[in-house]
Chains A and B, each alone.
Chain A
Amino acid sequence: MKRLLDLAVSAIALAACDSTAPDTSMQETDTAHMEPASSATERTAGYSEDRNAYFGDLHIHTRSSFDAYIFNVRRTANDAYRFARGETITHPSGFDMTIAGGPLDFYTVTDHAEYLGILPVMNTPGTELSKLPRAQDMFSTDPEKITAAFQSVGASVRSGEVIEEMYDESIIGSVWEQNIDAANRHYVPGEFTTFAAYEFTSVTVNEEEDSFAGGNLHRNVFFKGDAPDRAFSTLDSPNPEHLWDWMDEQRSEGYEAIAIPHNSNVSDGQMFRLETYNGDPLDVAYAEQRMRNEPLVEVTQVKGTSETHPSLSPNDEWANFEIYDRLLASYQVSKTEGGYVREAYRNGLKLQEEEGFDPFRFGLVAASDSHVVGGAYDESDYWSKVGVVDGTPMERGSVPFFGKKNWDEQPDNQMVNNAREWFSRWAASGLTGVWAEENTRESIFDAFRRKETFATTGPRMKVRFFAGYRYSDDMLDDADLTRQAYDGGVPMGGDLVGTGEAPTFLAWAQRDPNMGALQRVQVVKVTSVGEAVYDVACHTGSPDPATHRCSDNGAAVDMETCAPTGAGANELKAVWQDPDFDVSQRATYYVRVLENPSCRWSTWEAMRGNVPPRPDVPQTIQERAYTSPIWYIPAD
């Protein structure tokens, strides 16, 4: 009988196993609920009160996400954490993925909570779920049936209308528990931090146009330590405010949590809309609840960068960076207003001045949103994020359709069109940096709460940003600069309360030792009536006091080899005062750091394919970092 039972367990485990690649997670999934390897009650070896920069990705999907499974992803949360620690993992299209720049300091699996882990069971012969006509269609060989079945699930996730026949809460609950276990198992205080987390997959439904296209309102939900045994999803309610209600409840029961929205750029203007989900006016309670639950926003990832848009910031020469504006799974263009972070900061200040509250006082992070368990952060080694759908250069449109050597006559087919509208416009981005005392859940989560975070488009450049009233020019040369900066002011993410004097800012950036050199450091200033970009530190010379711009440092890229030409800075730092400072006006300041130009991923792939780079996307980019802001608040 034992033999039979083993057989049966193996058969069920079929769902949990990649039939082509060895899956070492099998052994781990049968262990009982695991506690974290150890809890961090003592300081770990790397502890520093001046805080260390840690880098990580807060947005990763595995086979348990309904869409990833359709993209042929069979890797698990355990595989995801192994990838982040430097192990090589196979992409669903068959090639190897190894993390660029070495292991990360933290990593978080955020599978879609809706129908979590259901598709693998639907694809397991013998299960009740596999007998559903929907399952037969989804795993058939007929592309039309597959698409229809998949879209019916997508539509349910968006609308929140449950498909009862596949909503098996016991499966969803146990896969959620597995993901919590995987996070706990791989957490090594002082070395590698993980969090129990998931994605809440809300999308607005576009009733007028009767189309699949809607505004993305996704958020990832993170638990500081223990997590509740159930994840609130759009199948409970697609209204993010209901998610916040639930998070408030969880917090009162001891489950501290934050949510991080992403892809406001494709929210159809909904993410930072100046109304509630149901169209009511915003109020103090809304702002407080939003800030209590969403202190951070993901500003850059594979599906584009949401800092600002050229039409919103016409005077910002660097605003046109990895702009992506197609609504999810659609060619429709997302509404710009209400979709970008800088504009939200301005509207927040406006609301604060006119009505006394600001729902948009959030800090910035970045992530990949990879659906293949491993993020592609390096332009020269890119694999995008939706598995077998964009696993090759041709599928993502960096080289022309079969056999063609130029871009003149691309056929009109789905692969070519999807590549043009979607995948060729996606980006090799991004990573979150945090300033934390040590690499533990407590320390890193506290940094999230303080908003002492920054976002990069892939490279691990480090940036510090402070403001205070007692900083002096010559502090820049003091060996204990960091200590002085903390003692005499507030770091990124903080509020600087007015004293009647003009504040001084310290902006300090250091390159990624393995990536490009730095070109300039900028301060972006936002008020309720406008915005301005000031270069504050340059690779060559000082900013022109009239134009606030660095002179051209001459850095470029050799388009034959993608090798950078011209020098750049290893480190840039400046003590800066706002030349247009108004002591009585609220202002939001954040830092943007620019690397020298480098080849975009699509250019690298064209070069390797021996074809000209795709003409309708930029050939080079300037990698960058954004800090969380410092908010200047005038004295009463």
Chain B
Amino acid sequence: MKRPVITFLTDFGPESAPAICRGVMLSIARDAQIVDISHSVRKYAIRDGAYLLWTAVQWMPVGVHVVVVDPGVGTDRHGIAIRTARGDVLVGPDNGVLMPAAAILGGATEARILENRDLMLATLTSTFHGRDIFAPVGAHLAAGRPFESVGRTIDLDELVPLDFPTPVVGHGVLETTVLFVDSFGNVRLAGFPANLEAAIGPLVSGRSLLLEFPAHDGTAMVEATVPWSRTFGERPIGTLLIYPNSFGHLAIAVNQGSAADLLGVEIERPIRIRPA
């Protein structure tokens, strides 16, 4: 028999909360193959959670994906399950965290509100819906309960949206935004090399590009001249490069260093890229 897959992403951190949820899931779906995507999402950062899920889920087997980055736990925000065209089910709070992943899995085909108490733990708290609702509902779905059993449908238009910024292709300049900073300090941007080529022409390794981070939120303008590169080791240790990362997105790195620290930039910072 094929083991059902449950992937699991939270901002719960290194203590026992993720394991407790795994215990709940395995009590319901003993044969489940649980893949922990990350439990180190920056706390309460719905966009970071959405980004990590969006970039990870395409490498996951078709299955149930349980996500908990949920600053609104216990308020009147809904818990939801979304079915995708690829055949996955996404389970989590209706705060946007699931939406980019749903899009990359072929798009949402149906969404339902989690309200069937039979699929939840007997006692519901106001502060740990990961354990009490999302983990058990996810496990029941993985164990074969029909999608329809979780609760009534909700219009896809009524779900809380979350849209990542998209790059603007100008004449000789690409305007985009920092989407995420990973634990290496690599600065991941919205957009693809094709967008940059549409703005400034062909990218060949070594081509010199000017990065401008306009003044933002009280921080001064930052500028750097950086070579287009294939990978980190093409450049001297400690120096900047701009490259297509392993997800195909534009990114800025320092070979064996932190580009975010060196440039002093954070998530959501606007950036312009032009020929140097």
Do A and B come together as binding partners? no
Residues of A within 8 A of B (CB): none
